[in-house]
Amino acid sequence: MSSPRHAIASIEGEYRRYRSLGEGVIDQLSQEELVVHGSSESLSIATLVWHISGNLESRFTDFLTADGEKPWRHRETEFEDRQVSRDALIDKWDRGWAVLFEALDPLVDEDLARSITIRDVPLTIAEALHRSLAHASYHVGQMAYIGKMLRGEEWHYLSIPPGGSAAYNANPTLEKGLGGAR
């Protein structure tokens, strides 16, 4: 009898939801909008993609056996201004998420109490996953905010639009991963 994956599947579902939301932002923006800064104090979508992906690649490469902050990761360079093509941006985005999902695939709920390290600090897998999920959702939220600022009235809401609660409640398609990804 195999071990259950209820909690792991729930966490994985939330990662997939935020990946889909990020892709919903990317898909709405032009090449130029992907690399522009929403304001003098904000990052570009390209910079956020580089950071999210860099974090996922570092944290989840050899997830169970190596520290989550890899010596080959150069975090500060993730925040450099970059001019990249849409294809390069999507490749980078996909690479980070692929490493994450590959690491999650063999996990079962009983693994959540196991210990890993990030920057030599021991964490349970549960703590590491919740921390990572919060990090990804924070930055995807930034992406959505920047995207909405850039697109203005042309923005297509990625969740329930203002004034749309009643219609959504009648057909809740975004619940439990029912919304589609790119």
User: What's the mean per-residue pLDDT of the chain?
Assistant: 93
Res. 175 pLDDT band, cuts 50 70 90: low
pLDDT surpassing 70 at residue 178? no
Going along the chain from its start, the domains and CATH numbers come out as 6-177 (1.20.120.450)
**Residue 115 forms beta bridges with which residues?**
124
Q: Using one digit for the tens of pLDDT, what is the confidence trace for 108-161?
A: 999 999 999 999 999 999 999 999 999 999 999 999 999 999 999 999 999 888
**Cα three-residue angle 148-152-153, rounded to 5 degrees:** 120
Claim: this prediction has a pTM higher than 0.85? yes
Q: pLDDT > 70: what percent of the chain? A: 94
* Cβ-contact 139, 52 below 8 angstroms: yes
Average pLDDT on 48-62 reads 98
With a cut of 50, say whether residue 88 has pLDDT above it: yes
Structural contact between residues 101 and 12, judged by C-beta atoms closer than 8 angstroms: yes
Distance CA 49, CA 25 (A): 11
Residue 135 tokens read as: 């990090």
The pLDDT of residue 182? 40
The pLDDT of residue 36 is above 80: yes
